[in-house]
Amino acid sequence: MSLNICFYEDKNYKHFFPLTKLRPVYVLRAGILPLFKRVNRYFPESNISLSCREQLAIGLAERYKDFPVNIIKRGDSDVLLLNGRIRDYGNLPQIIKEAKLSTIFKHNDETVAVILKKESIKELPPIAVIADYEKYIHDVAYHIATTDTTATLFNYCWEIVNDIEKEITADFNFLSSSLAQSVNINIHEGVFWVNREQVFLGNDVEILPGAVIDASRGPIYIGSNTRLESHTALYGPCYIGPNSLVLAGKISSSSIGHTCRVGGEVEKSVFHSYVNKYHAGFIGHSYVSPWVNFGAMTTNSDLKNNYSSIRIMLNGEEIDSGFNKVGSFIGDHTKFGIGTLLNTGINIGVCCNIFGGNLVIDKEIPSFSWGSTGNYVKYDIDKALDTAKTVAQRRNYEISERELLLLRLLVEQKMTDEGVINI
């Protein structure tokens, strides 16, 4: 079925702060692929476009060059608007294929998707923006059918973390048929394999003696140009992105993005990309944004001593997660000094500098905070940007003026909701 599919942001993108302060929710990752690319499991022949807040558009277009951003090219196909928070597709693919009329699909009174049949939208411009479609839907709402779907939406970032094992497995199975034979693999003697047939190695992967690769509980995908050093232990389901270095330590049920440096212990966590955790210390049940640096022995708690449900402070509101294991949610460019200890279910903003070698008991730390519990000051924006540029250069990356501008807008509280829609 050929479709023009557009992923959009709704007002609940704020439920995923600090992760979505600088990116749409649908580019977050629970498995191997960004959330929006999972749609190819169900509609492989479709064209995909991305709609986001206007201030994020240029950066998103630079990152995902193959996908039109904030433009929908209708062509001669139906248009499917998909909520970027979609979690489980349920029966949605089937009922979309069976739909004869334009239809709004809801779950628990929230819009999951809208299919607009080409006959009904022929008066819309062939090249339009999401606001044109939003207005059309509101103008003719009484003509559009509404039906329930078993498809579900993510509501909070800890739900993404909870799906890691399922999503890595699903992505691995989806990608397995198209994975080409890798070249220039360097596997030293003394590497220990368990369930080797469930391990994929990209080009130019090197694994040193004494590493353990255990896929007995789920598949393992190791991206190109990645090096696993001695005394590394990987336990599936697990994803290690390209251009990464894994040092001595244990990584289990985690999704590690590209260009990361990882040592110590990581359990059921997402490192988005460009994360540096070179030294010992534990990070569990967490989502870590790009350019975060963990000083030696930085460790987080992901379980309360009484094993009760963990409550998280998000945008000033305390929310019961419903889970007894929740770790940390950390914004871009945040840094931790040596020996930092993070309390259970902590939410830390963008461009923070946390140090002092003691327990951080705050439940929510605003962006651009400098210091430690009870003693925070505002991180000077120019110094923060200088540090960001220096760190990026160490990874042969040059931060664009657009990225620097977004950080300035964030600290000046000038980020807006323009581009967010309500259907």
CATH number of the domain at 17, please.
3.90.550.10
Q: What is the pLDDT of residue 162?
A: 96
Entry field: residues in the chain: 423
pLDDT-derived band at 323 (thresholds 50, 70, 90) equals: very high
d(CA 354, CA 129): 41
Do 280 and 385 belong together in one domain?
yes
Q: What is the pLDDT of residue 74?
A: 81
26-64 confidence digits (pLDDT tens):
999 999 999 999 999 999 988 999 999 999 999 999 899
The values of phi and psi at residue 212, to 5°, are: -120, 125
Q: Name the packing angle between helices 401-411 and 381-394 (round to 10°).
A: 150
Q: What is the pLDDT of residue 365?
A: 95
Do 139 and 182 belong together in one domain?
no
pLDDT at 292 over 90: yes
- The answer as to whether 420 is a domain residue is no
The values of phi and psi at residue 18, to 5°, are: -90, 0
Mean pLDDT of the chain: 94
- The answer as to whether 416 is a domain residue is no
Q: What is the pLDDT of residue 179?
A: 81
For β-strands 369-372 and 375-378, DSSP reports them as: antiparallel
Which of 2-6, 259-263, 285-289 is predicted least confidently?
2-6
pLDDT-derived band at 139 (thresholds 50, 70, 90) equals: confident
pLDDT-derived band at 124 (thresholds 50, 70, 90) equals: confident
- The answer as to whether 419 is a domain residue is no
Sorted by sequence, the CB contacts under 8 Å of residue 405 that are 6+ apart come out as: none
The values of phi and psi at residue 108, to 5°, are: 50, 45
| Domain boundaries, position 288 | 159-411
155, 184, 199 - which closes a domain: 155
pTM of the model: 0.94
Q: What is the pLDDT of residue 373?
A: 85
The continuous run of DSSP H or E covering 377 comes out as strand 375-378
Do 110 and 257 belong together in one domain?
no
Sorted by sequence, the CB contacts under 8 Å of residue 38 that are 6+ apart come out as: 31, 89, 167, 170, 171, 174
pLDDT (mean) for 321-331: 96
pLDDT (mean) for 401-406: 91
- The answer as to whether 190 is a domain residue is yes
Do 150 and 222 belong together in one domain?
no
pLDDT (mean) for 202-206: 96
For the chain, percent of residues with pLDDT exceeding 70: 99
108, 135, 155 - which closes a domain: 155
Q: What six digits make up the tokens of 288?
A: 């870590």
Do 113 and 53 belong together in one domain?
yes
CA angle 151, 93, 31 (to 5 degrees): 65
138, 155, 172 - which closes a domain: 155
- The answer as to whether 421 is a domain residue is no
Q: What is the pLDDT of residue 141?
A: 67
Q: How many domains does the chain have?
A: 2
Do 139 and 185 belong together in one domain?
no
**pLDDT, greater one: 219 or 183:** 219
The values of phi and psi at residue 317, to 5°, are: -115, 135
Do 25 and 170 belong together in one domain?
no
